[in-house]
Chain A
Amino acid sequence: MSTMSVSLSPHVRSDNSTQKIMRNVIFALLPAAVFGVVWFGLSALLTLVLSCASALLAEFLMVKALKRPFSLNDGSALVTGLLLGLTLPAGCPWYVPVLGSVFAICIAKQVFGGLGDNFVNPALAGRAFLLASFPVAMTSYPTSRFMADAVSSATPLSSEFAGSLSYADAFLGLMSGSIGEVCKLALLLGGIYLVIRQIIDWRIPVAYLATLALLTALTGGNALDAVLLGGSMLGAIFMATDYVTSPVSPWGRVVFGIGIGIINFAIRAFGAYPEGVTYAILLMNIASPLIERFTRPKKYGEVKKNA
């Protein structure tokens, strides 16, 4: 390629590449994944392997069919598969992770043009597909093999046994839930790592979780429950911060996070789902081009038109 493109300064140099970012995200997800596998046993590992393998295979076949350049090495398909697997209950039937990954890669990602052109987060689109398709399998959370006396429940968010759970247990992940969402400590470690490496912006998760906690507290709910039980932490750190589907401008990111918090709170307070993280993020994904348009930073030296 000998095309030269001329662009205006500043010319920011960065050694960030898609591979490097994806490698970091996978690294940051590892603590949560490892904890999930230890906590729920081999069935969790099987679910994760199935979702990752089918995401990679789907990407490979789809790229081949659409005659696009080989893209497995950028790691984005692996991240999608891993993220999707982490939102599933351990030991769900084999077709759940497989179909979810296939939907995420083929429909949500490649049909719209591949990485960078998907208008919603593929992993969450896959999860929404699964939630609508297999409502029972998707909400039957197993208990850990270390919790002999625990009851299997829909989600700790909706059940009365949330009351008997201590915050320390919830923070450490000694509870039932989907594979990757239980251990908040591991998620937080991954999140802090990504913020320090400047892979993700702290504004989105902080704005989201703060809004959710604040609204829950204002309406007489338990703010800590809202953040610690369920998938909001996983969603806030790893799903909402997806580059492709979230705004770029700093204030846009704050608005984006607040929006997710409001929608998530509304779904939990007034909707039929006890969880709602998936739909909240998906809806804000769709709104993010609009947010982007209204939060464009002022150019240096720009004068207001109607001043």
Chain B
Amino acid sequence: MANKFTKTFLNGLVNENPTFRLVLGMCPTLAVTTAVSNGLGMGLATTFVLVCSNFVISLIRNFVPSKVRIPAYIVVIATFVTVVQMVLEAFLPALSESLGLFIPLIVVNCIIFARAEAFAAKNDPVSSIADGLGMGLGFTCSLTVLSAVRELIGAGTLLGFPVLGANYPGVLLFVLAPGGYLTLGLTMVAFNAVMGKIDAKRAARQAAAEGSVA
């Protein structure tokens, strides 16, 4: 059980990383990763919604007729998004302001839909929590990495602290929309290059192991 939990969790974090592997949720990824605080905040908000909605949808998966399942998912997801929005407005008004419309838009975030449809609707609640947690944190990590690159190159700061010195001329493009596409593409190249090497190594090891068994 614990093993399965970890496996599902790691699957979302790395192997099926929603940003770099599934290429889901591109709209918030490109839009909010202008500063580390935004990326991190967006990721954590999505993680919360994802874990809760996965859990609830998995609980009700046997009662909801399949014809009305999408509206039912939306009601569940929208409930948690409303909770997140109210909490952010109350306790982190600055973050809530800078994320703006993208918080309510979590309702239609395709990562959440994809996980509800592809995982929570078919699996038990505990695995669904693991999946939500893995996918959510995978999304959070990707957003944090992307926004760190963009904030560092674009403004020379990290989380608002000047890292590259006061004389660093910010490469403004990286905080603008084209910089989002550029950073996403180049980071995805790096991620896939590293993952490809790891996969190849794993496959080689497996082949060797199978060979010795035979």
Contacts and interface: CB of A to CB of B under 8 A. Distances in A.
Contact of A99 (B171, B176, B178, B182): B171
Nearest to B172: A133
B86 interface: no
A132 interface: yes
B182 A133 contact: no
Contact of B172 (A93, A95, A107, A135): A135
A134 interface: yes
A132 B171 CA distance: 8
Classify the interface of chain A: helix, strand, loop or mixed. helix
Interface string B163-198: 000000101111010100010000000000000000
B169 A132 contact: no
The size class of the interface chain B forms with chain A is under 10
Nearest to B153: A133
A129 interface: yes
B188 to A, nearest CB: 12
A107 B182 contact: yes
Given A93-B169, A95-B169, A132 B182 contact: no
Interface string A58-91: 0000000000000000000000000000000000
Contact of B169 (A107, A129, A134): A134
A131 to B, nearest CB: 9
Given A95-B169, A132-B178, 13 more contacts: A93-B169, A107-B182, A129-B173, A132-B172, A132-B173, A132-B176, A133-B172, A133-B173, A133-B174, A134-B169, A134-B171, A134-B172, A135-B172
Interface of B: 169, 171-174, 176, 178, 182
18 contacts: A93-B169, A95-B169, A99-B171, A107-B182, A129-B173, A132-B172, A132-B173, A132-B176, A132-B178, A133-B171, A133-B172, A133-B173, A133-B174, A134-B169, A134-B171, A134-B172, A135-B172, A137-B169
